């Protein structure tokens, strides 16, 4: 039985349609992340599941029970939201132990659990400190510990790591997933940070303009996005406009700008189709000398950046378009310098094809 | 065009030393990033360069002139802060033309410069919009155009992308570098985000508790971290304590939790307590049959996370408590599973060995 089910949920704020018919099913024990640009409706959806705001239409079930009209405190949830404050007059430890105390657990047990929960924080926090003595990041870690300590089986998290420094944020996301799994909880975590979602979720929900664009495991979204927006939102990708000029049984030939051609495996496309070829930079191979094979294109390196664990190249193709290439970084690998002539190879099966959007490519992938 | 030099700059706030004898040179036309955790003194450093704060000791030079006593508006710097507000009652164009008008330039020049800068940030078509009609990302770009339009040759950026959605920030960081390079500016950019720093910088300055720890290109800082702190802060790494068991002219053999590891390192003797660090992409995961490098350890895959087209694999060395972190390409035809036994293999060149830090490893790695 799914723990959380959302069916046909709509919500309007004045003229703004925040949710335009959302269906979503979350299994027991799943770690789900909801991502999307600002204003996509992800926080509204979370608040409706929490019971903080009612939907205009649709139903929310938790553990098979319809919870429309049930107040938040009776839904059996723990939540850590961005702007839910800690109790200012209580110590960190008392804040975290609060949920257990109000459920009638004795003080020493509550404090023991609270201490354990505080250990998830990568920042050292004194249990005796008062909330006003904490940095934004530390206060956030305490809020998460408090949500965990309630003993609720369903955890709702809205940008739970948003106030942390980037590096702490990375460490803490793995800790957060680990503890949720160790405790056997179901978690729904809303974030604007797609890298965070992809690295810890069992299932990612991508939203845009009040609608769900795709639901899937992180690798599925990354390698098999169902639409251009998801393809672009979950990670860097090169998008090239073209037309199908020839097709055989299992292959087709795409003509890009200036007559540049690519071979692709492409079911369900016909000659003359106006398409966007989407290419993940991790799938492209870069060579400093000429190689043979399918889809080998000449280019010139525009930029070569060493990132954390990765070399990122921008390669200018002969038709004036730019192709991104990413390689894993190792000492043995020499960085190809800007202005160098190179050859790139794009495996035909790695090219994703989408219909050219009627509203134009830039609007289709707009993050605003 | 200005170079910037700080010589022995110290700044205290009450009993706290925010900057401790900092010396640093940024060349003319260079894009420098000051990178460090919250509280490292990054913003203080930037404010001292801007002239908004006075150092307690030391010199600040812009070009070759000492500017300690020059007020901010005569230093030829443009400041850009994270929560830089636009004038709400002025159009986008007037916001950007504000700086040139204040300098008393002829009106047609003010408009020309403003239009050029808006074109640079791809917002020329929104010149007549009011700020509230734009998204957060667009407002940030207008604010940047306004800073660039002042005509200053030195651009100071304090967490310029931190308020934006992660995906927009990722796109904008490459644009930001391009604007600075196209206009031939010198830039000092402050951030706690390692990925952002690596993407834009010519030179990274790692700052910790008010002191400069390392200065170098992104490649140098990432591949040759000078201290365990830099290894663990600038990207992920496996960092652990070890004891030197044997040395020869160029290599050492160290032991950690019963595991022996070979490394290239000099200047150590048998029995020394040291710290070892290994970058995740240096550790390859192999099946039994594949040829291994000098270090080969049997491991159990504990957790696989998906990060940006790669797999981040947490492993435990069989029979010990030693954990290793590996980053491998997500190949179409290779499936890894949690619980699977594999071999972790890495070359002695890819293991960095450091003397044990005098303040202890925990304090050394602390992000506070």
Residue of A nearest to B349 (CA): A331
| Interface check A308 vs B, CB under 8 A | yes
The pLDDT tens digits along chain B (368 residues) read: 589 999 999 999 999 999 999 999 999 999 999 999 988 999 999 999 999 999 999 999 999 899 999 999 889 898 887 767 899 999 999 999 998 998 889 999 999 999 998 988 888 999 999 999 888 778 888 988 998 898 889 999 999 888 788 888 888 899 889 889 988 999 999 999 999 999 999 999 999 999 999 999 999 999 999 999 999 999 999 999 999 999 998 999 999 999 999 999 999 999 999 999 999 999 999 987 677 788 999 999 999 999 989 999 999 999 999 999 999 999 877 789 999 999 999 999 999 999 999 999 989 998 87
- ipTM comes to 0.91
Instruction: Specify the CATH number for the domain of residue B245.
Output: 2.40.50.100
Instruction: Specify the CATH number for the domain of residue B132.
Output: 3.40.50.300
Mean pLDDT of A166-185: 90
Rounded distance, CA A233 to CA B63, Å?
A: 42
| Interface check A198 vs B, CB under 8 A | yes
| Interface check B233 vs A, CB under 8 A | yes
The per-residue pLDDT for range A45-56, each reduced to its tens digit, is 999 999 999 999
| Interface check A233 vs B, CB under 8 A | yes
Q: Which residue range forms the structural domain that includes residue B264?
A: 232-365
Query: Which of residues B231, B263, B294 is at a domain's end?
Result: B231
CA distance B145 to chain A (A): 19
| Neighboring chain A residues of B192 at a CB cutoff of 8 Å | 165-167
Do B75 and B182 share a structural domain?
Answer: yes
Across chain A, which distance is largest between two alpha carbons, in Å? 75
Rounded distance, CA A55 to CA A35, Å?
A: 20
Do B279 and B198 share a structural domain?
Answer: no
CA distance A330 to chain B (A): 6
Are A198 and A222 in contact by the 8 Å Cβ rule? The answer is yes
Residue A86 pLDDT grade (very low, low, confident, very high; cuts 50, 70, 90): confident
The per-residue pLDDT for range B263-273, each reduced to its tens digit, is 999 999 999 99
Query: Residues with Cβ < 8 Å from A360, sequence gap 6 or more?
Result: none
- Cβ distance B166 to A280 less than 8 Å, yes or no, reads no
Rounded distance, CA B35 to CA B20, Å?
A: 16
Q: Does domain A4-232 have CATH number 3.40.50.300?
A: yes
Give me the residue from B166, B305, B367 closest to A194, CB to CB: B166
Rounded distance, CA A183 to CA A173, Å?
A: 16
Do B313 and B217 share a structural domain?
Answer: no
Burial of A285 (0-12, 13-18, 19+ CB in 10 A): middle
| Neighboring chain A residues of B194 at a CB cutoff of 8 Å | 166-167, 308
Query: Which of residues B198, B231, B264 is at a domain's end?
Result: B231
Question: What's the residue count for chain A?
Answer: 368
CATH number of A238-365: 2.40.50.100
| Domain count within chain B | 2
Query: Which of residues B188, B208, B231 is at a domain's end?
Result: B231
Do B237 and B226 share a structural domain?
Answer: no
Lowest mean pLDDT among A89-98, A115-124, B54-63: A115-124
| Torsion sign across C-alpha atoms A192, A195, A198, A199 | negative
Mean pLDDT of A209-232: 97
Residue of A nearest to B280 (CA): A309
Mutate to test the interface with A, among B280, B303, B307 (most CBs of A within 10 A): B307
Do B176 and B34 share a structural domain?
Answer: yes
Are B247 and B269 in contact by the 8 Å Cβ rule? The answer is yes
State the pLDDT at residue B1. Answer: 59
The per-residue pLDDT for range B47-91, each reduced to its tens digit, is 999 999 999 999 999 998 999 999 998 898 988 877 678 999 999
Rounded distance, CA A267 to CA A247, Å?
A: 10
- Cβ distance A236 to B135 less than 8 Å, yes or no, reads no
Do B336 and B212 share a structural domain?
Answer: no
Do B201 and B66 share a structural domain?
Answer: yes
State the pLDDT at residue B192. Answer: 95
Map out the domains of chain A as residue ranges: 4-232, 238-365
Three-state DSSP string of chain B = CCCEEEEEEEEEECCEEEEEEEEEEECCCCEEEEECCCCCCHHHHHHHHHCCCCCCEEEEEECCEECCCCCHHHCCEEEEECCCCCCCCCCHHHHHHHHHHHCCCCHHHHHHHHHHHHHHCCCHHHCCCCHHHCCHHHHHHHHHHHHHHCCCCEEEEECCCCCCCHHHHHHHHHHHHHHHHHCCCEEEEEECCHHHHHHHCCEEEEEECCEEEEEECHHHHHHCCCCHHHHHHCCCCEEEEEEEEEECCCEEEEEECCEEEEEECCCCCCCCEEEEEECHHHCEEECCCCCCCCEEEEEEEEEEEEECCEEEEEEEECCCCCEEEEEEECCCCCCCCCCCEEEEEECHHHEEEEECCCCCHHHHHCCC
Choose among B42, B1, B31: nearest CA to B209. Answer: B42
Rounded distance, CA A255 to CA A347, Å?
A: 16
Do B61 and B121 share a structural domain?
Answer: yes
Residue of A nearest to B304 (CA): A199
Rounded distance, CA A127 to CA A311, Å?
A: 43
- Cβ distance B198 to A37 less than 8 Å, yes or no, reads no
Residue of A nearest to B220 (CA): A306
Do B301 and B223 share a structural domain?
Answer: no
Half-sphere exposure of A164 (CA within 13 A, CB side): 24
Residues above pLDDT 90, as percent of chain A: 69
| Neighboring chain B residues of A123 at a CB cutoff of 8 Å | 367-368
Do B209 and B295 share a structural domain?
Answer: no
CA distance A190 to chain B (A): 13
pLDDT at A1 over 60: no
| Neighboring chain B residues of A326 at a CB cutoff of 8 Å | 308-309
Do B240 and B224 share a structural domain?
Answer: no
Rounded distance, CA A333 to CA A352, Å?
A: 28
| Interface check B336 vs A, CB under 8 A | no
Do B63 and B47 share a structural domain?
Answer: yes
């Amino acid at each position: 039985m799914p723990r959380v089910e959302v069916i046909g949920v709509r919500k309007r704020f004045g003229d703004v349609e925040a949710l335009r018919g959302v269906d979503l099913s979350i299994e027991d024990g799943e770690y789900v992340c909801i991502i999307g640009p600002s204003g996509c409706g992800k926080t509204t959806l979370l608040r409706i599941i929490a019971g903080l705001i009612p939907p205009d239409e649709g139903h929310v079930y938790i553990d098979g029970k319809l919870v429309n009209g049930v107040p938040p405190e009776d839904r059996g949830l723990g939540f850590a939201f961005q702007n839910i404050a800690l109790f200012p007059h209580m110590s960190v430890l008392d804040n975290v132990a609060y949920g257990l105390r109000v459920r009638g657990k004795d003080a020493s047990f509550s404090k023991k659990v609270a201490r354990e929960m505080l250990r998830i924080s990568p920042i050292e926090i004194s249990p005796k400190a008062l909330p006003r003595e904490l940095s934004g990041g530390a206060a956030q870690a305490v809020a998460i510990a408090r949500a965990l300590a309630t003993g609720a089986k369903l955890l709702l998290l809205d940008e739970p790591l948003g106030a942390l420094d980037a590096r702490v944020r990375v460490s803490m996301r793995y800790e957060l997933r680990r503890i949720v799994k160790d405790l056997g909880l179901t978690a729904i975590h809303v974030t604007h940070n797609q890298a965070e979602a992809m690295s810890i979720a069992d299932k990612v929900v991508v939203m845009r303009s009040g609608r769900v664009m795709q639901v899937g495991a992180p690798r599925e979204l990354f390698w098999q996005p169902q639409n251009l927006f998801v393809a672009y939102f979950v990670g860097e990708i090169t998008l090239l406009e073209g037309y199908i000029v020839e097709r055989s049984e299992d292959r087709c030939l795409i003509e890009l700008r200036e007559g540049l051609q690519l071979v692709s495996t492409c079911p369900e496309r016909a000659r003359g189709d106006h398409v966007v070829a989407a290419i993940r930079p991790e799938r492209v191979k870069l060579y400093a000398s000429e190689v043979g094979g399918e889809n080998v294109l000449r280019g010139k390196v525009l930029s070569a950046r060493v990132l954390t664990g990765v070399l990122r190249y921008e390669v200018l193709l002969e038709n004036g378009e730019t192709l991104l290439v990413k390689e894993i970084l190792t000492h043995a690998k020499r960085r190809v310098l800007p202005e160098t002539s190179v050859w790139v190879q794009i495996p035909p099966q790695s090219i994703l094809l989408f219909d050219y959007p009627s509203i134009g490519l830039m609007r289709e992938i707009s993050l605003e | 065009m200005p170079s910037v030099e700080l010589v022995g700059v110290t700044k205290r706030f009450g009993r706290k030393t925010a900057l401790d004898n900092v010396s640093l040179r940024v060349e003319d036309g260079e894009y420098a990033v000051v990178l460090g955790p919250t509280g490292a003194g990054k913003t203080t450093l930037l404010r001292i360069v801007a002239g908004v704060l006075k150092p307690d000791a030391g010199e600040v030079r812009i070009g070759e002139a000492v500017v300690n006593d020059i007020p901010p508006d005569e230093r030829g710097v443009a400041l850009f802060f994270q929560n830089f507000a636009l004038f709400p009652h002025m159009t986008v164009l007037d916001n950007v033309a504000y700086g040139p008008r204040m300098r008393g330039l002829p009106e047609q020049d003010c408009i020309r410069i403003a239009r050029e800068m808006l074109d640079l940030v791809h917002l020329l078509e929104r010149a007549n919009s009011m700020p509230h009609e734009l998204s957060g990302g667009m407002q940030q770009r207008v604010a940047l155009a306004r800073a660039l339009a002042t005509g200053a040759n030195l651009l100071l950026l304090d967490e310029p992308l931190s308020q934006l959605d992660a995906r927009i920030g990722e796109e904008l960081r490459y644009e930001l570098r391009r604007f600075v390079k196209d206009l031939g500016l010198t830039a000092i950019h402050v951030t706690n985000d390692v990925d952002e720093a690596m993407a834009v910088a010519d030179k990274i300055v790692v700052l910790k508790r008010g002191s400069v720890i390392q200065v170098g290109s992104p490649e140098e800082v990432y591949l040759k971290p000078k201290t365990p702190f830099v290894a663990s802060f600038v990207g992920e790494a496996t960092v652990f304590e070890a004891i030197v068991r044997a040395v020869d002219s160029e290599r050492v053999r160290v032991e950690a939790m019963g595991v022996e590891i070979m490394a290239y390192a000099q200047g150590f003797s048998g029995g020394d307590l040291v710290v070892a660090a290994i970058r995740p992409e240096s550790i390859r995961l192999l099946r039994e049959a594949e040829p291994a490098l000098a270090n080969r350890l049997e491991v159990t895959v504990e957790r696989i996370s998906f990060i940006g087209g790669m797999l981040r694999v947490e492993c435990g060395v069989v029979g010990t408590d030693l954990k290793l972190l590996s980053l491998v390409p997500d190949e179409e035809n290779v499936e890894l599973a949690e619980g699977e036994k594999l071999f972790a293999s890495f070359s002695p060149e890819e293991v960095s060995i450091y003397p044990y830090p005098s303040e202890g490893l925990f304090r050394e790695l602390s992000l506070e």
